[in-house]
Amino acid sequence: VTALEGINAFQNFLCSIGMPKNFAELGAKEADIPALVKTLCYGDGRTGTISGFVTLNQDDCAKIYKMMV
């Protein structure tokens, strides 16, 4: 199974249970991104980045959100 097949399967699953597949289907707009990034990067005591496999800064998070709108 390729990565794209996995993504398609996950999107089909979301549709099957009535969940939105992206921010646009959720009703979010590009104008919402700054507030989403602020909450993501500064919520719960964070200091402007989020960490996991890699550390993401505010610009990284905004780019990801823009791909989801």
The span from the CA of 50 to the CA of 42, in Å, is: 9
Question: How many domains is the chain partitioned into structurally?
Answer: 1
- Is 4 among the domain residues? no
Arithmetic mean of pLDDT, 39-44: 94
- Is 3 among the domain residues? no
pTM above 0.75, yes or no: no
Q: Give per-residue pLDDT as tens, 1-16.
A: 799 999 999 999 999 9
- Is 11 among the domain residues? no
The span from the CA of 36 to the CA of 23, in Å, is: 11
Where b means 16+ CB within 10 Å and e means fewer, 26-42 reads eebeeeebeeebeebbe
pLDDT band at residue 23 using 50, 70 and 90 as cut-offs: confident
pLDDT band at residue 46 using 50, 70 and 90 as cut-offs: very high
Structural domain for 32, as ranges? 23-69
Nearest of 17, 18, 34 to residue 69 by alpha carbon: 34
